[in-house]
Every structure is written in C-alpha cells, then in structure tokens.
Chains A and B, each alone.
Chain A
Amino acid sequence: MAMASQPAGKEAVARATAAVSAGVTACAAYDRPDLARRLELAATSLAEPSVPVVVVGEFKQGKSSLVNALIGANVCPVDDDVATAVPTSVRYGEQQRAELISGGDPPTREPIELSDIRRWVVESDPVAAAVEPEPAGTERGRPVGVEVTLPRKLLSGGLTLVDTPGVGGLGSAHAAASLAAASMADALVFVTDASQELTRSELDFLIKARNLCPALVCVLTKTDFYPHWRTIAGLNAKHLRELGEPPIIPVSSTLRSQAAATGDTALNVESGFPELVTFLSAQVGGGAAQRRAATAAGEVATACTQIEAQFEAERAALENPEQAQRVVTELTAAKDRAAALKSAAAKWSQTLTDGAADLTSDVEHDLRGRIRGVLAEASDAIEKSDPADTWHEMESWLEARVAHELIENYTMLRDRAIELSERVGEHFREASGGVLDAIAVRNPEPMLVGAKIDHKIELERMKVGKQAMVALKSAYGGAIMFVMLGTLTGITLGPIALGIGLVMGRKGLRDEKKRQRGARQAQAKNAVRRYCDEISFVAQKDSRDTMRAIQRQLRDYYTGLAEEFNTSNAEALQRATEAATRTKAERTKRLADLEAEAGRLKQLREHAMAVTS
C-alpha cells in the first residue's frame, strides 16, 4: 500500500505544481496579486518540502550506523562505548555542509567541518557529562544539535533524517525529548537490535510514540551478527501486534556499507536496506506528498472560486439587466458582511480570542496540577528516604518526571490548539460561505464545491500542521532543554557531615542521625520546590508564547483570507455596477469574453481538483 502510493504522491505533486503555476498566471491576468502571492507560497512549499523522519531507540542499538548506512556517508559518529548526545539532522543540499547549533538565547549556528562532528555530537565522557555542568563562561552555549546537508538522491525529496540520542529507558528525560521529536515527525524509525526481543521499556516507549506519530517502522539491526534474528523478529512481531502491527524491517548496516564500498547490488539487497528506503520514500513521496499536493491544489481552487465569484456577479448583471440592480444591492449588503468578516467582532475572531484565552488558562492550570503532583510525590519520596543516599537518583527521577509531565501538558496544548484552529476555521467558513454565496447570486453551485474543498483542505491543513504546528514546533523546547540540562545540579545539599558516625555504626548516634536526616530532608524538599518553581515559570512562559504565536498565525491567516474575499467582493460590485451601464452590443461581447474566462477557470479548477484524485 505504502509502496503503491509513492508514484501517486510524486505525480500528485507534479500535477499540483502545474496547477499552481497556471493559477499564478491566471491571478496575474485577472489582476489579483493578493491571490497570486498566496499561490506562490504554495509553490515554494511544493518545491522545497521537508519531511522529518526521526530515528529513535535505546542506547547502542545502532541508530547512528543505520543513518550512516542509509545516506552512505560517515556523518553520525559510531563508537563502541560513547553514545550520541545531541541530535543530528541530515537533509538534502547541493553542497556537503555541517552546522553546529548551540543553545542560548537566541540559539547560534556556526559552520563546522564534517569530520569535526564527532567532537560535538558524542558524549565526551558519558559519566562526566551527566554529572558535571558545562563550565561556565564558554563562548558558545551548549551544543544542542548538528545540521548536515548532503547531495544525496534519497534526501532530494525533502527527507530529513534525525539521529537522536538513546532513550535510556522510558522514565528518562531523553525519552521525553525523543517523544517531543516524535510529535513533530512525519515518520518514526524505531531501532532495536537483534540481540534480544523488545523490552518492557522499549514497548512502553513505542506505545507513547505511536500516539504522537502514527507512521512507524521498527528496524531490527545487526542481522549479520546475530544468527537468531529471525526468532527475535518473530517475537517482536508478536509484541507489536497490539500496536497495529507496524512493519518490521531487518537490516544490516555493515552489509550496506560494504555494498556501497564495493558497488555490490546483491549485497545491498541482502542488507535489507532497499525495503527501508522504499518505506522512507513512500513517506516522502506518499502520504506527505499527497497532503502537500492537496493543500496546494486547495489553494488553487480557492483562488478560482474567488475569481469566478466576481465574474458570476458580472455575468448575472449582464445577462439580465433588470436583475442588475438587485445584484448590486445584494453585493452592497455582502460588502458589509465581508468587511465584518475582517473586523475583530467577527465570530471566528471572537472564537479565536476567547479560545486562546481559555486554552492558555487551561494549559496553565493543567501544568500547575501536574507540577503539584510531582511535588507531592517528591516530598513523599524524600520523607521515606535519606536524601544523602538518594539525592542523585532523586535528581534524575525528578528531571524525568517533570519532562514527562511537560510532554503530557504539551500534548494537551497541541491537541487543544488543533481543535481550536479547526473551530475557528469552521466559524470562518460559515461566515465567509455567506459572503461568497452573496457574491455568486445566480449560480451558487460552483461555490458549494469550492466551499467543500475548502473545508477538506482546512482540516488537512491543521493535521499536517501548517498553521498551529509551526508555532508548536518551537514550543516547550525551552522547558525541555531546561530540564535536560539539569539545573538541579546547581543545588547542593550542603556538606554531608554525618558520614563517619555511620561508619562506626553506634546506636548512640541514631538520634543525631535522625536529626541530621530531618535537616537534609527539609533541605531536599526546598530544593525540589525551587526547581519546580523555576520549571513552572519557564514552561508557563513557553506555553504562553506558543499560544500567542498560534493565535497570531491563525489571525493573520484568516484576516488575509477575509481581505481577499473583500477584494473579490469589491471587484464583483464594480463589475456589476459597470454592467448595468453597458450597451446591448457591449454586453453581448463581454458575455462572450466572460464565457471564455469562465471556461478557462473551470479548466483550472478541474486540474486542481484532479490533483489528489
């Protein structure tokens, strides 16, 4: 199924591109630069698509080797011991280039040598990196990612491969970051090696990830090395049954690399990679391309609708001069409605403003509740143990817990934002439908079709994430990073002066031990509270910023649309008024012209409609 849709997707994109470029010409010819601009944007997104595919999995399962073998270049460092610490994204570019992205406000980018990536991407020393904070006063912020561009055919369709650090158990902050990445991805490649069947924590991670990104493939690596990989694949298939049976692709990165070095195609087939490449291409050429093509085609249809609308009004006035006055009257009334659509008092605008306010407060409330839950749990845990023994674990536990609550909170924000975006779209369509109806007095039928397409596209749009998702992509990055950088490290419990009392283990010291333990517990609780306060503060700012960005995007988008409708309406009104003053001969000639124009537009619309069929 996925394989069959690949050419379909490519063809759809080609057809959409043709339709969009015809649409741009038409808009220019009809003197509607505003519509042309929108179509040009659509053309750009068709020409330079981005299909992020995130590679996730536990430590040392061969994620980096897999990415390297896929693109046939040693981009992601592979090592027996040290693991990948920051994500590396690889996408198409005519030049081979690498850029280091460093954290900070704002993040900085600097070009680096491809051979230098290793320095930034791997954990310098996994233990030290986890324990010691980055020395203060370094010039750049901490590296948060590396972006590589490569001239590879596989990537030319817009495929962006993202190699991520190992998950390290579902209950870790890294897992939260991987899940966040999954929610942005068009597809997820879950990597597990053939040394053993899926573990509980891997499966838990998959269940969560699947909810965030339904296009999932499970890649079984190192099949050259583990003779029992077929047994493992079978066991994994059994475990994945409850997950809707995502495909399992067994591969050997070693074979693939060797095949690339020797140009041995049979070896390449044996490596299992062709199947994975097909899957990825299907993601790029299939689903994602279809969606992009549909969106672009929808834009063309909308433009056609608007231009047709003005012609229809004119034709109605020309065909039937007695009716002309009525048309003009109706259009004048519609003009007010179109103007109202633009104004802040319009229903969609109200929905947006209110919805955004509600959403912001709900999300904040949710976050507060979650953090309070974490705090209560933490206090409980501290009460039950001696922080002197457990503080280190406590830190990582707290980071992971908070990261997960943030993800849940973020998921809520995301779902609700999409819902809001759909509701606003709905209200806009209700109102604008009326406007368009009024414009096309005589022949409402094409409008209906147009409205239907519009509707479909709007829903699609929200799902592919053109509107809300753009803002969401940056959302919570700050807070998650904040969690991951381990701000707790700065909080110490003071000198642990009890030690030797315990060393000698006398009972007489028990009371003193108890007292000191109490003091440490209070200290620990305070530290946790301070940490949670800071997290809440950062997360709250993040979610507010995100919400504001979403609101701004939606408002700009629909205001723009309203503006276009307004222009269409004004144009129609002018033409209808003119029509009333024309002579019979002029009318006949103009009608013939209009007939021809309508034919052309009809053709264009049909092209656009055919894109996704």
Chain B
Amino acid sequence: MTGLLDDTRAALNRAIDVYRGTEDGERLRQVRTRLDEPLRVAVAGRIKAGKSTLLNALVGERLAPTDAGECTRIVTWYADGHTYRVEAELTDGDTRQLSFTRDEGVIDIDLGGLPQEKVNRLLVTWPSARLRTATLIDTPGIGSLSESVAQRTWDLLSASDSDAAADAPADAVLYLLRHLHSHDLEFLRTFHDTEASQPNPVNAIGVLSRADEIGVGKLDSMTSAGKIAARMATDPVVRTVVQTVVPVAGLLAETAATLTEAEVARLRRVAELSVAEADALLLTADRFVDRMPELGITSTEREELLNRFGMFGIRLATSVLRHRVASTATELAAVLTERSGIGDLNHLLRSLFFDRRDVLKSRSALAALDALTRAAPRPGSEAVAADVERIMASAHPFQELRVLSAIRAGWVTGKSAVLDDLEHVIGGAGAAIRQRLRLTDDDGHDAQRAAAAAALERWQRRAENPLTKHELAVAARVAIRSCEGMLAELRRAS
C-alpha cells in the first residue's frame, strides 16, 4: 500500500518539475501536500438533511451550528490542529482570521462584517482525535431556496474535468439522503471517476439521515429505517453511485456523544410518571413543553430537551430509563449511540474509507494529475501522463476499485451470489481480510488461510472456465490477485 503512495508521490514530483514556474506547479505542490494530510471526507446532501448534526456526531462534539431553518450557508472545513482557530478564505484568495465564541459547545463564528458571498470557505482548526483520521467538510444543502448557497456546494463538489480537478477537495463523501430524490442522484454523479468517466461508488457512502423521523416518532422507527436503507442499497441506480446505504439518527448520536447528567435527571422525572401520564405528556411537542408544570422542569429546559433529543429521542430515552435498561448518563449514552446507527457508520467509514485512505488519496492525486496533463500539455508532461497510466493500470488496489465500479455499473454480469462473492473478495465490503472472506472476528489465522485458499481456487476455476463470460473472467483475474495478496499477507503475519 505504501508502495502506491510512494509511486504517486514520485509521479507528482516529476510533474512538479515539469510544471515548475507555472500556476499549475503551485497547485501540484498542494496536491502533494495533501498526500500526507488526513483523508478529506465531505458531508453532503440536500438542504436540512442533517449534515451538520451528523458531522457533530462524527466528531463527538457540538461544533457545527444546527437550527430548524436553513443553517449552513458557507462551506466549512473542520481539521485537526494544535490550536483552536477559525479562518475565512475569501473569494479573492485572501485569508483572514476570525473571532468566535462557543455557545454550549457550538462554534459561533463572527464574520467580522464580511459579506457571506465574499467568503469562499471557513476553516475551523480544532484539536480532536477524530479529526486526525479525517478532515470533515460541512456543505450547504442543495435544493436551498437561496441559489448562491446551493451553488457553493456544486462548485465544491463538482470538480469538472479541466482545471478544477486538481483541486477536487474531497477524497470521499458521505451523502445524506432523506428520501430518494432525483436531485440526490444528479448530485452523487458529480463524483465521477475522471479516468473511466464513470459514476463511481468507490468513494461514497449513502446515509439515510434523520432516520429517527421516519416512523414519525414510533419506537420502531429505526427498524423501518433499516429496511428502507437496505432497500435503497439494492436500487441499481443507487448502487452505481454509493457503496451502500446505512440509516443514522444523527441527532440521537450527537446528543449521545455529549449527554450530561443534568439532562438525564430531567428525563428521569418524565420516566417516573405512569405510562399513561407520560404518553399524554409526550403526545405532542407542544404538550411536552406546556403540560404538567408540577414536574419541576421549566419550559425552557423542556424546549432544550426537545432540541437535543427530538420527540423520538425523548420517547426512547424515557422508555429506556423507565425499564431500567440504563440509569446513568454513560449508560444511556451507550444505548442511544447503539440505537442511532452511528456505530455502523463509523465501522463502514473505517473499512471503506480509512483502511483505504492511501488508495483514495492516490486516486484523487492521480486524477488531478491526469486531468492536468490533458488540459495543459507541456514538454515532459507526456512522461508524467505515462506514469499516471502505469500506476493506474498496474496498481492492484485500483484494479479492485475498477472491478467494483464495473460490477456496480452492471458491466460485469453473472449470478448474484457469484457477484456478491466477487465484491467481497476484491474488498468491496471492506479491505480487511476478514471482511473480504466474510469471516467473523472469531476466525483465527488458520481459518483465514483456509478461506483465502478456497477463494483462490474458486476464482481460478472461474477464470479458466471457458464458459465464463469475458468480463467476468477478467474480473476473476483481479480477484485471483486479491486472494494471492491475502495469502501473502497471512504468510507474512505468521
């Protein structure tokens, strides 16, 4: 894997020499710097899809402001750093440091009189272990009523083939879907693999967000959300653009990560009511705020609870407390986290993005390089292009990614069980050996070796079978190399 990153860096170095002294040279240096930085993951989706809330849940802190109305209007980067700092990058290229305050954790940035449309992006530097793994990019929603806000997101994410490609800011994207919407798909397609000019699911995960609202407050909402997400993930169109879809109740996850004992104490008062009384109180949000003043929670506190938990969260939390499934803030937070689905998302992020960060970062860099050599050829740039092509064509991880997108695009056809096996073996469900071989954590070294050998034999047979279709046979050869790679890795480990 490091080999790939080194190769990419070498290609970039050569390109930097070729483009020295031009604007492109400077840009390539930035691309090279990026190779050593954390993976950049954009959180994108339609307006009010819950992007900022999810971002907070991922960081585990309430950083990004959230509100009932449209909220995020400027692209905001959250990156790890030594100090707490907010900078604005202006449209004319200047940067300016901004002052900010924190209101119950939420960063309130003072634009200092800068008009919004003059600000290209905000960069929030925040010491955080989570941000060390990935820089998160919060985006304004598409489908906003103010056109310029939506345009920003398009500009950010739809890096066109030519000059902007070198600056394609995100290596991977979490796409928040509320319902399947034609706009959503159009949006997803901006993450084209420039090399194959093909919508590519390799760097996108779909998140069915605000999952707690799907049943409009019923306690089995998350089950429904799970079914919907599973259904969406099998949609052939969705499959061509995201790897999979998971339901996440962002608000629940965000609150769980920042839950306080005081909040639990208030919820406990509601939980101590009889079921009938609690049901009557929780019938509507208005009632929860106004009724039963004798409870000893002020209406401001109740409104705050609603903001933090939502109706579903309050119903769930009080029911958990009543049945003594949890009693302390820590215990309740654990239950809410588990129910929110954020764990599944984190797991996916790890196996699909973070475990593959070198591949994804190389991919971004090579795509930028490839676009540049085509758009602005110079003496020597042909050699750079050849480098890019060689790496793209020979690096096994790229071949895996290509086969994966070919399966998703419907080019490689076959029995669904076979394709499923293929997807796993080439790392479609995660790059780790256990994931590739569909083994559990209990399976030890020998079991893995046996499974890998079996997979190798299986795919050799398929590759050599004259009845196997040409496309599948080519894909099978990639699978064989994946199996050989696993066996080699296992040998090294033993």
Cross-chain contact B411 with A498 (CB below 8 angstroms): yes
Cross-chain contact A81 with B197 (CB below 8 angstroms): no
Closest to B314 in A: A227
Give A225 to B311 CA distance when docked, in angstroms. Answer: 6
Chain A nearest CB from B235 CB (Å) reads: 4
Chain B nearest CB from A83 CB (Å) reads: 8
Cross-chain contact B227 with A81 (CB below 8 angstroms): yes
Answer yes or no: A37 CB below 8 A from chain B CBs: no
Residues of A within 8 A of B312 (CB): 225
Answer yes or no: B199 CB below 8 A from chain A CBs: yes
Per-position binary interface string of chain B over residues 193-208, scored 1 when its CB falls under 8 Å from any chain A CB and 0 otherwise: 0011111000000000
Cross-chain contact B68 with A228 (CB below 8 angstroms): yes
Interface residues in A, total, Cβ within 8 A: 54
Give A334 to B285 CA distance when docked, in angstroms. Answer: 75
With A201-B143, A235-B69 as given contacts, are A503 and B47 in contact (CB-CB < 8 Å)? no
Cross-chain contact A225 with B283 (CB below 8 angstroms): no
Answer yes or no: A200 CB below 8 A from chain B CBs: yes
Cross-chain contact A255 with B283 (CB below 8 angstroms): yes
Residues of B within 8 A of A235 (CB): 69
Chain A nearest CB from B286 CB (Å) reads: 8
With A199-B47, A203-B145, A225-B311 as given contacts, are A499 and B214 in contact (CB-CB < 8 Å)? no
Most chain B CB neighbours (cut-off 10 Å) among A131, A222, A258? A222
Closest to B285 in A: A227
Cross-chain contact A503 with B411 (CB below 8 angstroms): yes
Cross-chain contact A225 with B216 (CB below 8 angstroms): yes
Chain A nearest CB from B230 CB (Å) reads: 10
Cross-chain contact B231 with A227 (CB below 8 angstroms): no
With A169-B181, A500-B411 as given contacts, are A127 and B231 in contact (CB-CB < 8 Å)? yes
Cross-chain contact A500 with B471 (CB below 8 angstroms): yes
Cross-chain contact B143 with A199 (CB below 8 angstroms): yes
Answer yes or no: B101 CB below 8 A from chain A CBs: no
Choice from A81, A168, A171, A506 contacting B231 with Cβ under 8 Å:
A81
List residues of B (387-439) whose CB comes within 8 Å of A's CBs: 389, 392-393, 398-399, 402-403, 406, 409-412
Cross-chain contact A224 with B181 (CB below 8 angstroms): no
Residues of A within 8 A of B306 (CB): 227
Most chain A CB neighbours (cut-off 10 Å) among B69, B70, B392? B69
With A80-B214, A389-B199 as given contacts, are A224 and B284 in contact (CB-CB < 8 Å)? yes
With A392-B237, A500-B406, A500-B412 as given contacts, are A169 and B69 in contact (CB-CB < 8 Å)? no
List residues of B (79-121) whose CB comes within 8 Å of A's CBs: none
Which of the segments A4-12, A190-198, A567-575 contacts the partner chain? A190-198
Give A168 to B197 CA distance when docked, in angstroms. Answer: 28
Residues of A within 8 A of B411 (CB): 496, 498-500, 502-503
With A195-B48, A496-B411 as given contacts, are A502 and B406 in contact (CB-CB < 8 Å)? yes
Chain A nearest CB from B276 CB (Å) reads: 13
Choice from A223, A228, A396, A496 contacting B182 with Cβ under 8 Å:
A396
Residues of A within 8 A of B224 (CB): 80-81
Residues of A within 8 A of B197 (CB): 386, 389
Cross-chain contact A389 with B231 (CB below 8 angstroms): no
Choice from B235, B311, B478 contacting A227 with Cβ under 8 Å:
B311
Cross-chain contact B471 with A499 (CB below 8 angstroms): yes
Per-position binary interface string of chain B over residues 224-238, scored 1 when its CB falls under 8 Å from any chain A CB and 0 otherwise: 110110010011110
Cross-chain contact B214 with A198 (CB below 8 angstroms): no
Give A568 to B235 CA distance when docked, in angstroms. Answer: 70
Closest to A60 in B: B179
List residues of A (468-504) whose CB comes within 8 Å of B's CBs: 496, 498-500, 502-504
Chain B nearest CB from A498 CB (Å) reads: 7
Closest to A171 in B: B182
Answer yes or no: B164 CB below 8 A from chain A CBs: no
Chain B nearest CB from A8 CB (Å) reads: 35
Answer yes or no: B215 CB below 8 A from chain A CBs: yes
Closest to B402 in A: A503
List residues of A (201-259) whose CB comes within 8 Å of B's CBs: 201, 203, 222-229, 231-232, 235, 239, 252, 254-255, 258
Residues of B within 8 A of A224 (CB): 217, 283-286, 311
Cross-chain contact A503 with B183 (CB below 8 angstroms): no
Choice from A127, A169, A255, A505 contacting B393 with Cβ under 8 Å:
A505
Residues of A within 8 A of B470 (CB): 500
Give A127 to B233 CA distance when docked, in angstroms. Answer: 10
With A80-B221, A201-B143 as given contacts, are A223 and B393 in contact (CB-CB < 8 Å)? no
Answer yes or no: A373 CB below 8 A from chain B CBs: no
Answer yes or no: A172 CB below 8 A from chain B CBs: yes
Cross-chain contact A197 with B284 (CB below 8 angstroms): no
Most chain B CB neighbours (cut-off 10 Å) among A125, A127, A168, A239? A127
Cross-chain contact B236 with A502 (CB below 8 angstroms): no
Answer yes or no: B307 CB below 8 A from chain A CBs: yes
Closest to A517 in B: B197
Answer yes or no: A507 CB below 8 A from chain B CBs: yes
Chain A nearest CB from B31 CB (Å) reads: 20
Give A567 to B117 CA distance when docked, in angstroms. Answer: 76
List residues of A (65-97) whose CB comes within 8 Å of B's CBs: 80-81
Chain B nearest CB from A503 CB (Å) reads: 5
Binding site for A on B (CB under 8 A): 46-48, 68-70, 143-145, 150, 179-183, 185-186, 189, 195-199, 210, 213-218, 221, 224-225, 227-228, 231, 234-237, 283-286, 288-289, 303, 306-307, 310-312, 389, 392-393, 398-399, 402-403, 406, 409-412, 470-471, 474-475, 478
A–B Cβ pairs within 8 angstroms, 26 of them: A59-B181, A80-B221, A126-B180, A168-B182, A195-B213, A197-B145, A199-B144, A199-B145, A200-B145, A201-B183, A222-B216, A224-B286, A225-B213, A225-B311, A226-B311, A228-B68, A239-B145, A252-B284, A496-B410, A496-B411, A498-B411, A499-B406, A500-B406, A500-B474, A502-B411, A504-B393
Binding site for B on A (CB under 8 A): 58-60, 62, 80-81, 125-127, 131, 168-169, 171-172, 195-201, 203, 222-229, 231-232, 235, 239, 252, 254-255, 258, 270, 386, 389, 392-393, 396, 496, 498-500, 502-507
**Beyond the given A80-B228, A172-B182, could you list 14 further A-B residue pairs with CB under 8 A, ordered by the A residue number?**
A126-B231, A127-B234, A168-B182, A197-B69, A231-B69, A232-B69, A254-B216, A258-B283, A270-B286, A386-B197, A389-B197, A499-B471, A502-B411, A504-B402
Q: Which 7 A-B pairs have the closest CB atoms?
A: A499-B411, A228-B68, A227-B285, A224-B284, A196-B48, A80-B224, A227-B306
